[in-house]
């Protein structure tokens, strides 16, 4: 159930209850009028006077009750907005209770500006349930100058028992729709140097804090981290299952300076490239004949040991430490990062990971989400030997261009029911990059084109909050 659905049902039930309460008040006045009418003692003048008073009281009751009903509905709507705003602040920082309360009060004040005038408004807000929920308390009253003739001087807007007080539940790491698995692909290529990689670290850390719950007892929320540049670096224990037993080097025919040729050797690195063959755009389990390729080059892989892929985990400390240590370098093989975002979510690749890091089966009760972030156009692909195209001695690309590979992979990922969010960072109007990210996103609203660090952080936060929505529980 979404926030909007919860609020809609709450509003429907509340309106029915309000109408019932208003009906009871009017019935009370009507009964008073009936007693006046039934009382036949005294002369006609006295009866007329009593009936006139009763009629005025009946009309006045309608006016006062109308004002009460309007103020009540406006107050409940304002409380709902306020507790959702305060609860969202708690999602971002569960220790900042004072900030959450201040935010709630601000939202409440803004939403009651046009409200029917009330008296004695003591509505207040606070965190509850060990900062996992946010609640309202207090009451407000509408003065009833016309009903005062019946000794009713004011009407409370809320039930004194507290059952009508708004409450939002902070659902870190889920929204009540089952367990959650997220793959976060991060661009750590050379163009991410300087302030850009600092901004990305901050944005990614913020996202981890929101979507990965510290309490895994009710719902599991795990995240896989996939840094990529010219390829992806796997944990050493996963290499054999992913790429088999590749040769330590490959020898190719390279072009010499004088126009001749010579034999050149490229060494095996600790990074992996694409998969070729019939399963290149599927998540079929790796095995002989459809392993991923190893990257061969004359130098080491651009990704260090601190930038190894992290399979699905709820260890927030591990994830944030890895993000903190990300460095920039290398070219942009986004199709490889995209593939591994899928593989970490696929149960078919569980042989690569320890039991605690294995993905669950595809299921409507298990939400799988991929978040793909890059700062530019995908421009790196490999020949059938695992040597980067354009390198001396390398052949043609084993698959399509890196851009086309990424798009084809995204199509297959979405067909599995995985929701894909994409984030462009300072793309500089590169239309190919924009089109690729737009194509990969599940829908247009799930593509974020950010121009600076603040926008990047806002995009990651918006994605995180959409994944982990708040719920009105009262």
In a domain, 254, yes or no: no
22 in the same domain as 47: yes
pLDDT of 43 above 70: no
Backbone angles phi, psi at 262, to 5 degrees: -155, 165
Q: Tell me the mean pLDDT in the region 296-306.
A: 96
Residues 76 and 105 in one domain: yes
Calpha distance 130→97 (Å, rounded): 11
* Tokens encoding 286: 């790796």
- How far is it, in rounded angstroms, from Cα 292 to Cα 102? 53
Name the burial class of residue 21, with classes exposed (0-12), middle (13-18) and buried (19+) by CB atoms within 10 angstroms of its CB.
Answer: middle
Using 50, 70 and 90 to split pLDDT, how confident is the model at 23?
low
pLDDT 10s digits, 197-225: 999 999 999 999 888 987 777 778 999 99
Same domain, residue pair 57 and 193? no
Residues 150 and 187 both lie in one domain: no
State whether 314 and 416 are in the same domain.
Answer: yes
Q: Do the domain assignments include residue 68?
A: yes
Q: How many domains does the chain have?
A: 2
In terms of Cα–Cα distance, which of 127, 163, 32, 101 is closest to 474? Answer: 163
Which of 149, 169, 189 corresponds to the end of one domain? 169
Q: Tell me whether residue 257 is in a domain.
A: no
Residue 402 lies in a domain: yes
Same structural domain, 102 and 124: yes
**pLDDT at residue 387 tops 90:** yes
Residue 44: per-residue pLDDT: 52
Judged by average pLDDT, the poorest of 9-18, 95-104, 117-126, 372-381 is 9-18
Average pLDDT (37-45) is 51
Burial level of 28, CB count in 10 A (0-12/13-18/19+)? middle
Among candidates 443, 435, 448, 425, which has minimal Cα distance to 401?
435
Segment 6-31 shows an average pLDDT of 50
- Residues 441 and 423: their CA atoms lie apart, in Å, by 9
pLDDT (0 to 100) of residue 167: 83
Residue 269 included in any domain: no
Q: Which of 153-167, 290-304, 412-426 has the lowest mean pLDDT?
A: 153-167
Model confidence at 132, pLDDT cuts 50, 70, 90, reads confident
Give whole-number Cα distances, 47 to 36, 50, 147, 281, in Å.
8, 5, 21, 90
Q: What is the pLDDT of residues 165-176, one digit of tens each?
A: 888 875 555 444
Split at pLDDT 50, 70, 90, the class of 431 is very high
Strands (E), 114-163: 124-128, 133-137, 141-143, 154-156
Mean pLDDT of 267-279: 97
309 with 160, same domain?
A: no
pLDDT for the residue 15:
44
Percent of the chain with pLDDT over 90: 64
Alpha-carbon distance 239 to 246, whole Å?
Answer: 10
CB of 374 within 8 A of CB of 433? yes
Give buried/exposed letters for 272-309 (b at 16+ CB in 10 A, else e): bbbbbeeebbbbebbeeebbbbbbbbeeebbbbeebbb
At 115 the three-state DSSP class reads coil
**Band of pLDDT at residue 57, cut at 50, 70 and 90:** low
**pLDDT above 50 for 2:** no
346 domain residue, yes or no: yes
- Global pTM value: 0.72
Q: Among residues 432, 191, 384, 355, which one has the least CA distance to residue 274?
A: 384
* Residue 89: inside a domain: yes
pLDDT of residue 87: 85
pLDDT at res. 5:
33
Residue numbers of the domain that contains 460: 179-235+303-382+398-469
21 and 135 share one domain:
yes
Q: In terms of domains, do 112 and 201 share one? A: no
At 36, the pLDDT band (50, 70, 90 cuts) reads very low
Kindly report the CATH number assigned to the domain that includes residue 227: 3.40.50.410
Report the pLDDT averaged over residues 104-119: 92
Mean residue pLDDT of the chain comes to 87
Strands in 471-472's sheet, in edge-to-edge order, are 124-128, 133-137, 167-169, 471-472
Choosing from 136, 169, 202, the residue where a domain stops is: 169
Per the document, the length of the chain is 474
pLDDT tier at 470, thresholds 50, 70, 90 = low
Q: Is residue 142 part of a domain?
A: yes
pLDDT in the model for residue 1: 25
Shared domain for 105 and 206, answered yes or no, is no
Using the 3D structure, point to which of 140, 169, 198 is the last residue of a domain.
Answer: 169
Sheet architecture: strand order including 221-228: 310-313, 221-228, 179-187, 366-374, 419-425, 447-450
pLDDT given at position 467: 85
* Per-residue pLDDT at 204: 97
Is 103 in the same domain as 197?
Answer: no
Mean pLDDT on 444-465? 92
422 pLDDT higher than 50: yes
Q: Are residues 343 and 209 in the same domain?
A: yes
């Amino acid at each position: 159930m979404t926030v909007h659905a919860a609020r809609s049902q709450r509003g429907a039930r509340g309106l029915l209850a309000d109408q019932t309460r208003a009906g009871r008040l009017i019935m009370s006045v009507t009964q008073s009028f009936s007693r006046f009418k039934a009382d036949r003692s005294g002369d006609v003048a006295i009866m007329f006077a009593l009936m006139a008073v009763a009629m005025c009281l009946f009309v006045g009751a309608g006016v006062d009750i109308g004002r009460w009903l309007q103020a009540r509905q406006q107050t409940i709507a304002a409380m709902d907005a306020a507790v959702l705003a305060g609860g969202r602040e708690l999602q971002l920082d569960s220790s900042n209770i004072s900030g959450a309360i201040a935010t709630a009060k601000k939202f409440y004040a803004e939403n009651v500006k046009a409200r029917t005038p009330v008296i004695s408004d003591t509505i207040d807000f606070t965190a509850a349930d060990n900062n996992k929920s946010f609640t309202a308390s207090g009451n407000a009253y509408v003065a009833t100058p016309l009903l005062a003739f019946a000794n009713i001087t004011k009407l409370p807007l809320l039930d004194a028992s507290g059952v009508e007080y708004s409450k939002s539940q902070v659902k870190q790491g889920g929204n009540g729709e089952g367990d959650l698995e997220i793959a976060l692909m991060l661009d750590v290529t050379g163009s991410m140097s300087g302030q850009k990689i600092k901004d990305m670290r901050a944005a990614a850390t913020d996202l981890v804090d929101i979507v990965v719950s510290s309490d895994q007892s009710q719902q599991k929320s795990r995240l896989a981290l996939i840094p990529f540049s010219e390829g992806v670096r796997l944990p050493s224990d996963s290499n054999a299952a992913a790429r088999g037993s590749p040769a330590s080097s490959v020898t190719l025919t390279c072009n010499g300076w004088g126009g001749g040729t010579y034999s050149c050797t490229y060494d095996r690195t600790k990074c992996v490239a694409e998969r070729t063959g019939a399963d290149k755009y599927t998540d079929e389990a790796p095995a002989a004949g459809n392993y991923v390729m190893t990257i061969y080059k004359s130098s080491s892989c651009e990704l260090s040991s601190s930038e190894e892929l992290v399979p699905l985990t709820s260890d927030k400390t591990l994830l944030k430490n890895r993000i903190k240590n990300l460095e920039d370098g290398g070219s942009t093989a986004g199709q490889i990062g995209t593939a591994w975002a899928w593989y970490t979510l696929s149960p078919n690749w569980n042989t690569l990971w320890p039991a605690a890091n294995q993905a669950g089966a595809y299921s409507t009760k298990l939400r799988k989400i991929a978040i793909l972030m890059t700062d530019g156009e995908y421009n790196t692909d490999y020949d059938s030997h695992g040597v980067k195209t354009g390198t001396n001695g390398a052949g043609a690309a084993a698959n399509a261009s890196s851009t086309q590979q990424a798009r084809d992979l995204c199509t297959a990922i979405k067909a599995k029911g995985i929701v894909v969010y994409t984030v462009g960072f300072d793309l500089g109007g590169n239309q190919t990059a924009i089109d690729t990210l737009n194509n990969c996103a599940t829908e247009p609203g799930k593509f974020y084109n950010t121009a600076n660090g603040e926008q990047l952080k806002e995009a990651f936060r918006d994605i995180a909050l959409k994944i982990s929505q708040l719920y009105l529980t009262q």
